[in-house]
Amino acid sequence: MTQPPAHILTSFQVPTARPTRVEGAWAGGWRCDHAVISRADDPARAAWISKTMTKIRPVGVSVSRPISSSDGRFSVSGWRARTFLSGAPSPRFDEMAAAALKINDALAGEARPSFLRPPEVGTPWRSADIFAAAEEAAFADNATQWIAPVLDAESIPREDVAQALMKAAHVLDLREEIHAADQVVHADVVGCVMFDDASDPIFTDIVPTFRPYAWSVALLAVDSIAWASAPDALLDRWAHLEDFDQLLVRAVVYRLCVHIMHPDARSEAWPGLQRCADVVAGRIRRQRHSG
């Protein structure tokens, strides 16, 4: 990935910095002294995120604050800047879930951003559009309308993709009505949270979506069980959240759809996702049987 050019460093007031690539929760940005500079290809999204990160004050959570340019802009020529904070990802799953809810509490009352809209069917989809379509499939009455546009009817899918298609069909049958209201919530807690010893959890970014309050924790739980060796008991510890089990079902469908639809989906990610899907499906079936 190309590093920020000199005029961008000057714009964000770090003209003498030597950009160093940072990974993990910084999503491939570039550390430039006290700033992390990263791509911002959607100006409306970048502006909303920066303004929101500037004003929210979640209790018990640290948030990397945006850095404006010398002329007051939050994005310049497709780049944005945030304040660097030290920390590293850590498998502290319950703390991450609690932090997600604190962020969602701080986001409560925010209007739905105009850029949060489904991708247009019939037009070429970028990577971000595929993720958005997969989320729509998880909640839509007709999931097929969001999956079909990216499938090649003339080719045989990879074995793990074919298995994911079958698994998605079975898990979709487990969906029931949800009642929790939608609000702005964080859509990628796993990808944006760091820890620095005993300090408060650190959010490096906000990835907004408009779903029920517990959606962030459901996604976190599915991702962590699938790929980070989180215990299955994590599901029980957060089951008190409204519609949590049904949001787990939708989180599994979402991840299955991403695996089916995204060209960069890796076959080695399938075993963990398959197992997580079975754990959640078994949980719902046991509830139905006992009920």
pLDDT for the residue numbered 291: 66
Question: Does 20 lie in the same domain as 58?
Answer: yes
**In terms of domains, do 100 and 223 share one?**
yes
Q: Are residues 200 and 175 in the same domain?
A: yes
Residues 217 and 125 reside in one and the same domain: yes
Query: Is residue 178 domain-shared with residue 274, that is, in the same domain?
Result: yes
What's 113's domain CATH number? 3.90.1200
Q: Report yes or no: 25 and 191 within 8 Å, Cβ to Cβ.
A: yes
Last residue of a domain, one of 85, 109, 133: 85
User: Closest Cα to residue 259, out of 159, 186, 177?
Assistant: 159
- 67 and 124 co-located in one domain: no
Residue 202, domain extent: 91-291
To which H or E segment does residue 42 belong? Answer: none
User: Where among 85, 101, 132 does a domain terminate?
Assistant: 85
Q: Which of 28, 62, 85 is the last residue of a domain?
A: 85
C-beta separation of 21 from 3 below 8 A? yes
Closest to 247 (Cα-Cα) out of 135, 92, 106 = 135
Q: List, in sequence order, every residue forming a beta bridge with 66; answer none if it has no partner.
A: 82
- Residue-by-residue pLDDT tens, the chain, 291 positions: 799 999 999 999 999 999 999 998 998 899 999 999 999 989 999 999 999 999 999 999 999 999 999 999 999 999 999 999 999 999 999 999 999 999 999 999 999 999 999 999 989 999 999 999 999 999 999 999 999 999 887 888 999 999 999 999 999 999 999 999 999 999 999 999 999 988 999 999 999 999 999 999 999 999 999 999 999 999 999 999 999 999 999 999 999 999 999 999 999 999 999 999 999 999 999 998 886
* DSSP helix/strand/coil, 195: strand
276, 198: one domain: yes
At 49, which CATH number?
A: 3.30.200
**Angstrom distances, CA of residue 203 to CA of 19, 89, 99:** 21, 11, 9
List strands edge to edge, sheet with 62-63: 62-63, 202-203, 193-194
Residues 6+ apart with CB under 8 A from 251: 138, 215, 218, 219, 221, 222, 280
pLDDT digits (tens, 9 = 90+) for 170-197: 999 999 999 999 999 999 999 999 999 8
Quote the number of domains for the chain. 2
> Could you give the CA distance from residue 39 to residue 43 in angstroms, rounded to a whole number?
10
DSSP symbol at 270: H
Asked if 78 and 102 sit in the same domain, the reply is no
267: helix, coil or strand?
Answer: helix
Indicate the residue type of 189.
Answer: V
Asked if 98 and 140 sit in the same domain, the reply is: yes
pLDDT at 155: 84
Q: How many CB atoms lie within 10 A of CB 5?
A: 12
> Do residues 132 and 147 both lie within one domain?
yes
For residues 215 and 285, state if they share a domain: yes
Q: Are 256 and 214 members of one domain? A: yes
